[in-house]
Structure 1
Amino acid sequence: MKIASVFAIGCIGFCAIASFASAEDAHTMVTPNDVKWAPAPKVLPAGAEAAVLFGDPTKEGLFALRLKLPSGYAIPPHTHPANEVITVISGTTHLGMGETADRSATKALPAGSFFALPPGMAHFVYFDEETVVQITTNGPWGLKYVNPADDPQKSQ
């Protein structure tokens, strides 16, 4: 099963909740009070929340997705099929590059930080405080773990 298909299945529920913002709209405006949080797709470790602000991450085209990640949360080394463009909205993201999660080799990116990674670049992240990040990129969005055993969908 393709990564995008797996993601699409896990995303259907939270995309429906956040369907107030569509890429076909003439314009989109979202205030902080308008953000509708729901459990993140099952491709991510349990505990994260997600909100689609614009577009549909399961389909081709531009989208904006916010993730709220609790303190102590980590995403093991993984890659994405498309460019990954991230803005740290609040908290701090600890970003590391490569196929091994070495926390001593990460860079702390506080609120206001930005990073962009090309398709297929292995990286990992962890969060030592509640953090909100925004992903703005082209779908369909997907995530492939370097070590397939890290995929939370394998344990379900």
Structure 2
Amino acid sequence: MLGLSLALTATSSAFAAPQVSEIRLTPLEIAAMAKGGAGVGTSGVTGIQTTTLYGDPAVTGPYTIALRVPANTRIAAHFHRDQRSAVVVSGTWYFGYGIKAEEAAVKPLGSGSFYTEPAGAPHFALTRNEPAVIYISGIGPTDTQYIEVASDPRTSAAGRPIAN
């Protein structure tokens, strides 16, 4: 009987749903959350504010980060090790795929737009005369690896963002 009880316990725990935190955040609550500069999985470009909405992008597991990108910001071509998906919450986000950030290759994505960042796929982005807010989700750990040297004065000669 004890063996059957242990087998049933082991079987039921093997099929148990993973523990997920229940989170409900209004825009006002998100606005009140701590914001930082460069973080794991972000471009690290000076002026961009990052808020971790869920999880931790530095460790194994799901995460969602919010990026607040100022007007006239450019992010050089880079890639991440994990597959990510994103939604533009506000503003217009000019997003492109490729190993070199080229104006002709960006697509303007307004509020409500969706895009993906496949694992290892080079991409780049920019804002023009208005800021943008983007929510990015993935399964960590994540990272950011730059491909090109950016011409933006807010980045170093090596193409790496200057730390905040």
TM-score of the superposed pair, with normalisation by structure 2:
0.75
Question: Can you give the 5+ residue segments of structure 1 that lack an aligned partner in the other structure?
Answer: 1-22
Aligned residues with identical type, % of pairs: 29
Which protein has the larger Cα radius of gyration, Structure 1 or Structure 2? 2
Question: Can you give the 5+ residue segments of structure 2 that lack an aligned partner in the other structure?
Answer: 1-17, 150-157
Residue in 2 that maps onto 1:31: 26
Q: How far apart are the structure 2 equivalents of 1:25 and 1:116?
A: 24
Q: How far apart are the structure 2 equivalents of 1:133 and 1:44?
A: 15
Helix, strand or coil at the partner of 2:120 = coil
Instruction: Give 1:132 deviation, angstroms.
Output: 0.2
Which aligned segments of 4 or more residues in structure 1 are displaced greater than 2 angstroms? 23-26
Change (3 A) 1:24 1:41: farther
Contact 2:100–2:148 at 8 Å: present in 1 too?
no
Equivalent residue pairs, number: 133
Are residue 137 (structure 1) and residue 138 (structure 2) matched?
yes
RMSD: 2.0
Instruction: Give 1:37 deviation, angstroms.
Output: 4.1
Contact 2:69–2:131 at 8 Å: present in 1 too?
yes
Written as runs of structure 1 = structure 2, the 5 A alignment for 1:1-156 is 26-35=21-30, 36-41=33-38, 43-128=43-128, 129-147=130-148, 149-153=158-162
Helix, strand or coil at the partner of 1:34 = helix
Change (3 A) 1:57 1:127: same
Q: How far apart are the structure 1 equivalents of 2:148 and 2:120?
A: 14
Instruction: Give 1:140 deviation, angstroms.
Output: 1.2
Deviations, residues 50-103 of structure 1 (Å, cap 9, x unaligned)? 111111111110011100000001110000101021100000111111111111
Instruction: Give 1:25 deviation, angstroms.
Output: 5.4
